[in-house]
Chains A and B, each alone.
Chain A
Amino acid sequence: MLESQFCLLHTEAMKNLEREYERWCKAFGEKISEPEYFERLLNLDETGAAVKSVIVYVRQRQLEAA
């Protein structure tokens, strides 16, 4: 749903974000929550700029919905 609102770059970032979530869960051996996943990625220098802006956008949308 969200992807349709993004440009090509941010769509790619969103896809990567979703794909890597499973790997993060496996790595930590437990299901880490989405907010924690986002928080950790936002604090990492390695995270791409487009990924960070997707996270900020998604968080904002979630806040508005709440």
Chain B
Amino acid sequence: MATTLIVTEKPDAALHVAEALSENESMRKIVVDGVPFFEVQASERRILVCSALGHLYSVADTEERSQSEYPVWNFTWKAKHLVQRGQERQKKWIQAIMKVSGEADRFIDACDYDLEGSLIGYMVLKYACRGADANAQRMKFSTLTETELRDAYANALPQLNFPLVHAGMCRHEVDWLFGINLSRALTQSALKVSGQYATLSTGRVQGPTLRFLVDRQKEIETFVPTPYWSLKVKLRIEGRTLVADYEHERLERKGDAEEVVQTCAGKSGLVETLDSTKHELNPPTPFDLSSLQGEAFRHFGMSPRISLGIAERLYLDQLISYPRTSSQKLPPSIGYEKIMRSLAKLPSYTTDTANLLGMERLVPNQGKKDDPAHPAIYPTGVLPKRQLENRERKLFDLVVRRFLASFGRTAVKQTSKATIRVERHRFVLRGSTFIERGWTTIYAPYATPQDVILPPLRVGQSALVQEIKSEDKFTQPPPHYNPSSLLRKMEDAEIGTKATRADIIETLYKRGYATGQQINSTPLASRIIEILNKHCPKVVDVSFTRELESKMDEIERGSETREHVLLQTAEYLKPIIKTLKTHEREIGQELTSILSEMREKSTTLATPCPRCGSRLRIAKNPHTRKRFIGCSGRWRNNCCYSLPLPQLGTLRMLERSCPDCGFQLIEVKLKGRRPLVSCCRCYAQRTDPVISGTGLTDSTGRK
């Protein structure tokens, strides 16, 4: 029987595609060598739906060479399990697809319709399905709902979107060339001088992003505040006390502020003018990915990577549309009314949807940004089939309310301003109130409009100065970036893509370049930027990265070729790498001191040895290779104090102490598990009074 093989990006998507295409409940799950496939019958055809596991292929060196060698200019695409460790599942997947693809005579790519999705599908079809990319068709959809998937299957595009595939390939290849050569140059420079290995990375987007952080940190660290004064006055007007501000928000001379206080204290004034203005507040535009990530961080403190992950989960559950979109537009074809009628079944949205459906016309407030592949993020109208986790529920509610609010009525706000003249100075009273709350009632949990109501006043009314105060203030340094504002900065600078920006920020944390939610760049980050600025400033300059981004957009539009962009990249990189190689020793020396400092810091505890007061350090037993906390006063004071440590996972010393004993807390992170925070001292004493097998009891005698 004629067989069609449909390739999706993830297993959940494969299930939804199969369910949507299944006729007469014909869907059957078959497992080939441990890999699930879905088989359905549709119009005399057998359809097999399989999935990738994200990227199954990646860019790799053409030759087997030492990780220390650079520059590297020749690359190819290889199955991920041949390039990276721990990719056994991916290997199994490719083998199963290879086996099954032999049965198919028609191939369809049903991966997400964007750069990454198109590349994933293309690679699977080209390599695992032996050249099936040439004749494969393309399903284009923005939600995993049954109607849209059926429609996408029935109207599958005759071929893959090759410009999109080439742009995706080019992005990976360019990033690989940058990453492998620059990161190896830094890592090897440090290794050759210090003899110690540390992963030091930079890249095409990572370098300029890190520079944003380092520059901001520098601004904060070198900030000198300057004084200014502001004035507040308590006025008594017809039995009421009102607080007004001086007409100038800032007075830059103390003398000026003192003069106003002396002139106005205890004096009477008059209400000079009364103004009131109405402002219309348009409904918010529907979410594109970055505005969703921004709101999720602002209201729930979710990092961009976390909110993207949750949004993808909601998409795979058919609850929302494809989240990796730049669009702020909702076309009528998505069926506004149908979605609202469905959402009305959820009690939280019943009133709001009823109000909206009662309006004459449903027209969303479209934003400026557009995306040729997908509309803005919207709820599909499919109701949750499982209990959503807390964060999923929050994000879902945010998407639904934003969607509904974008159809809401314009809100009208009235702002009032009264000017009170005292001698030759003026003070201002301000108020604002909503005349029409419009869309803000729908978006209420996330839009917090507060009314400040001014009492009725009339011109000429007398006002007595009860109290006038001058406040000493100082200018503020610029704020630290947070993950959301850094992502916005990257977007404004036009570097990275909506799919990669959140991951790049995470990498900065992983490499030890950034810490905290209010991001501080570390001394290592400053040193890396200093070195790159000195030897090859182009690497951290945003302009080349931005230029490359636009070239890749041109590839997507078909007006530039992948080969040309790759050649340009190599030409650009060659002199940079040559310079780095020439200055390897110098760079190594510049990095060594900071690396030693960081290593020392990351292994030395803040809590001193309770027995001899020396520093406690994380160390490894040279024979057993087991790690433990040991006293650095072992040789000087003959102190053998030690504590056990978990042997698995990544350790991080926290800036918090144990509430019971005051010992520095340690976090242990195991892949796929929640981090565990523990006090090694309490643990040792709970489990064994003879601490950590040294044969010595804790001298403090604590239990």
Give me the interface of A with B, judged by CB distance under 8 Å.
8-9, 12-13, 16-17, 19-20, 23-24, 26-29, 41, 44, 46-51
Contacts and interface: CB of A to CB of B under 8 A. Distances in A.
Given A26-B253, A27-B252, A29-B255, A50 B221 contact: yes
Contacts of B477: 46, 48
Given A46-B475, A46-B477, A12 B225 contact: no
B224 A17 contact: yes
B530 A8 contact: yes
A20 B226 contact: yes
B475 to A, nearest CB: 7
B222 A13 contact: yes
Contacts of B526: 9
B218 A12 contact: yes
B222 A48 contact: yes
A22 B224 CA distance: 12
Given A12-B218, A46-B476, A48-B477, A28 B225 contact: no
A49 B219 CA distance: 10
B252 to A, nearest CB: 6
A9 B225 contact: no
Given A8-B530, A13-B224, A41-B225, 6 more contacts: A9-B526, A13-B222, A20-B224, A29-B253, A44-B474, A50-B222
Which applies to chain A's interface (DSSP): helix, strand, loop or mixed? helix
In the complex, which range does the number of interface residues on chain B fall in?
20 to 34
Given A8-B530, A9-B218, A12-B218, A47 B254 contact: no
A9 B604 CA distance: 26
Contacts of B253: 26-29
A11 B255 CA distance: 32
Nearest to B223: A48
B217 to A, nearest CB: 9
B227 interface: yes
A4 B225 CA distance: 24
Nearest to A12: B222
A47 B530 contact: no
Nearest to B219: A48
Contacts of B255: 29
A29 B258 CA distance: 11
A47 B224 contact: yes
B220 interface: yes
Nearest to B251: A27
A48 B227 contact: no
B228 interface: yes
Contacts of B223: 16, 46-48, 51
Contact of B222 (A27, A28, A51): A51
Given A27-B228, A46-B476, A9 B254 contact: no
22 contacts: A9-B218, A12-B218, A16-B223, A16-B224, A19-B224, A20-B226, A23-B226, A24-B227, A27-B226, A28-B253, A29-B253, A41-B225, A46-B223, A46-B474, A46-B475, A47-B225, A48-B221, A48-B222, A48-B224, A48-B477, A50-B222, A51-B222
A50 B222 CA distance: 6
Nearest to B255: A29
Q: Give the 8 A-B residue pairs with the shortest CB-CB distance, closest first.
A: A46-B225, A50-B221, A48-B223, A20-B224, A13-B222, A48-B221, A29-B255, A12-B222
B222 A24 contact: no
Interface string B636-670: 00000000000000000000000000000000000
Nearest to B477: A46
Contact of B254 (A20, A28, A50): A28
A29 B253 CA distance: 7
Interface in B213-267: 218, 220-228, 252-255
B698 to A, nearest CB: 37
B75 to A, nearest CB: 36
Contacts of A8: 530
Contacts of B224: 13, 16-17, 19-20, 41, 47-48, 51
A61 to B, nearest CB: 19
A20 B227 CA distance: 10
Given A27-B254, A28-B254, A29-B255, A9 B222 contact: yes
Nearest to B218: A9
Contacts of B227: 24, 27-28
Nearest to A13: B222
Contacts of A26: 252-253
Interface in B470-509: 474-477
B222 A16 contact: yes
Interface in B424-456: none
B478 to A, nearest CB: 11
A51 B223 CA distance: 7
Nearest to A29: B255
A19 to B, nearest CB: 8
Chain A CB count within 10 A is highest, among B224, B227, B474, for: B224
Contacts of A29: 253-255
Chain B CB count within 10 A is highest, among A17, A19, A27, A50, for: A27
Nearest to A55: B224
A47 B219 CA distance: 11
A37 B356 CA distance: 61
B221 A9 contact: yes
A46 B225 CA distance: 6
Contacts of A17: 224
Nearest to A10: B222
A29 B229 CA distance: 13
Chain A CB count within 10 A is highest, among B222, B228, B255, for: B222
Contacts of A27: 226-228, 252-254
B230 to A, nearest CB: 13
Contacts of B252: 26-27
Chain B CB count within 10 A is highest, among A12, A19, A41, A46, for: A46
Contacts of A50: 221-222
A39 to B, nearest CB: 14
Nearest to B473: A46
Interface in B499-546: 526, 530
A8 B523 CA distance: 13
Contacts of B221: 9, 13, 48-51
A59 B146 CA distance: 74
A9 to B, nearest CB: 6
Nearest to B214: A9
A28 B476 CA distance: 18
A10 to B, nearest CB: 8
A52 to B, nearest CB: 9
Nearest to A15: B222
Chain A CB count within 10 A is highest, among B218, B221, B227, B475, for: B221
Contacts of A41: 224-225
Contacts of A23: 226
B593 to A, nearest CB: 12
B225 A44 contact: yes
